[in-house]
Structure 1
């Protein structure tokens, strides 16, 4: 399959599985997923499946990335916080939609690689922070949107506090070894509004900074 056909098939798969927002599809089409993978997994970049990356982590299934991004309802004015940079794929898509993206990663090696990739791709509105994502990024709060790419038992209060009124957070919730539920949280003056978006499976949200062997 030539690259054009592959891209057409990729977008068709996304559309058929519920990713219908034109701006999100455009951002995903413009983001080369193979750049966020290594070795033999690069050849599988356009399969709709999660794949392994360094530090025992995974790059999310493209459909899930699309659905989470779509649920955020990002505008060009938005300042976005991502918890769990991983390969950087999700943040790269956010960067094509938002004014500013801050992404926090607990593994130094992943943070460093993502930072290099963003520079290579000319994405200069992304700031990668090596740190404890469970704490958020209070010095840059409040955020218009927050996305968490690891599962907590509930929406963390620390992150809710850093979300602007009328802001949106999208995250998986549930026990780490069972099927989790993807939820959308809207912070209103009256309280929090929750919407369930479907079953997913993510790595658990872990407190602290990882002690990587080759830091």
Structure 2
């Protein structure tokens, strides 16, 4: 199950990496947006919707508004209000995706696991024929990042996460995350999280979280 969730996370990251890299090939037109969205929708079982996609090669930024991912039952399992990405384009020539700033406003993730252990977000991103153990290994190798990713600064503003299955319910209503100096290859990360007005229910026992903050520092070898 952890492999499937990790694979879904990689698939989600690769979906937006495809958006980022493909934007370098198109100008800001409705036709380009439709072509990009249609291409992604042919590759995933779910549906991707986008209100607006903007890109500036001169200013090196990408802006996405009103992004939604729906599962095959047409239920929204992931969405955000806006995403603003400031890139250092020249670093791509040395196989480094360097992100100066990433701001995600109002992301909402709704994960549901049914009695057959199927997870809606996985069903939305991964085709049925790629969920076998052999396919999972092949996909993991295929979706591994061929370049290093460096994030100078990233923020998640007022996010929300819900997870539901037969025995537990997690509802994080106000989630704010700050990431600084993240380096994929060097395995370095500084992360600050703040959670407010949230609840966790497990076997009829409920934990209320009024205000919780924590700092995580990750160094290679630690």
Compute the TM-score of the two structures, normalised by the length of structure 1: 0.29
The structure whose residues are more often strand, as a share, is 2
Higher RCO (C-alpha 8 Å, min separation 6): 1
Compute the TM-score of the two structures, normalised by the length of structure 2: 0.29
